[in-house]
Amino acid sequence: MSEDRTLTEEQLEGYRSNGYALHRKPLFEAQKMHRLTDIFEEQWAMVGKKLNSELDTPHFRDERLLEFLLSDEVLDLVEPIIGPNIGLWSSHFISKEPYTGKQTPWHEDSAYWQGRLSRFDKIVTVWLAIDRSNRENGCMRVIPGTHHNGFSEYESVDEDKNIFPTKIKHIDESKAVYFELEPGECSLHDSRIYHGATANTSPYRRCGYTMRYFSTEARVIPEKNPGFKIWLARGKDLAGSEFVNV
């Protein structure tokens, strides 16, 4: 593994303790990153630049994205966190247009997947910045250490202003850490950590590509995932999930 493609021991310890890490180096070389950006722009134009829910699991529709999702650049970052047996769980283009991007309320990714996998302790999201992401345009923010808490209690929110209809109750936002990233840089976070983002009120678009991976120690439950496709990204299937390429 190249040192540029791995986290330091200090970053790994921070991930274990806090539930996240920031990789402030280009994830892909320039031409490869340009290809990914072009695919996003094609897909975004195709759906008429609608809300991000239109661009969930884009690799189901466009397998060119597997070049990135199954790449060593990404998997070398992920392996020290969840181990050598890695499944590709999902991906998602998340774009907030200037002035119109809705707020992403506080949530745990794992809460939306409850019942779909047998365990949630080794699932990581790589959030790759396609545009510059900062506090002005609604970058992601997390509450450190909350990945140890288990499933939380949720309450309803105004769907006209929020991407999701619910949010976690009782958040101390003074503890939030904001992930400000340059294009091509990425963050990594545990599926159980509290995270969200404010609305984009700036004149600048904020787009990221989330790439989500799980240890194959977890079983993906087929009856709870109709039509859903997973790939064995690296290593072996340990729990008997139904992978596309097995």
Bridge partner residues of 56 (DSSP): 92
Please report which confidence band the pLDDT of residue 212 belongs to, taking 50, 70 and 90 as the band edges.
very high
pLDDT interval class at 3 (50, 70, 90)? low
Count of residues making up the chain: 246
Rounded-to-10 torsion of CA 101, 149, 124, 145 = 80
Is residue 50 scored above 80 in pLDDT?
no
- The burial of 216, by beta-carbon neighbours within 10 Å (0-12 exposed, 13-18 middle, 19 or more buried), is given as buried
Number of helices (H), then strands (E), belonging to the chain: the values are 6, 12
What value does the mean pLDDT take over residues 194-198? 93
pLDDT the model gives residue 1: 54
Query: Distance from CA of residue 203 to its chain's centroid?
Result: 24
What is the C-alpha to C-alpha distance for residues 225 and 209, in angstroms, rounded to an integer? 22
pLDDT of residue 99: 86
Which percentage of the chain shows pLDDT scores above 70?
95
Res 51 pLDDT > 60: no
Is residue 54 scored above 70 in pLDDT?
A: no
Torsion angles phi and psi, residue 158, rounded to 5: -70, 115
What would the pLDDT profile of 140-193 be if each residue is shown by its tens digit? 999 999 998 778 888 998 888 888 888 889 899 999 999 999 999 999 999 999
Q: What is the model's pLDDT at position 190?
A: 96
Distance of alpha carbon 190 from alpha carbon 120, whole angstroms: 9
Residue 179, CA distances (Å) to 34, 59, 100, 105, 237 in order:
22, 25, 20, 16, 33
**Mean predicted confidence (pLDDT) in 116-140:** 96
What's the average model confidence in pLDDT over 21-25? 97
Average pLDDT, the chain: 92
Q: Which tokens go with 17?
A: 């303790």
> Mean pLDDT throughout 129-140?
96
Summarize the confidence of residues 217-238 as an average pLDDT: 97
Residue where the block lists tokens 């695919």: 39
pLDDT of residue 164: 82
**Residue scoring higher pLDDT (246 or 154):** 154
Q: How far is CA 4 from CA 8, 63, 70, 143, 244, in A?
A: 10, 26, 17, 27, 30
Domain ranges of the chain: 7-234
Q: Dump pLDDT digits (tens) for 214-224.
A: 999 999 999 99
Give the type of residue at 57.
T
pLDDT given at position 4: 65
CATH number for the domain whose boundaries are 7-234: 2.60.120.620
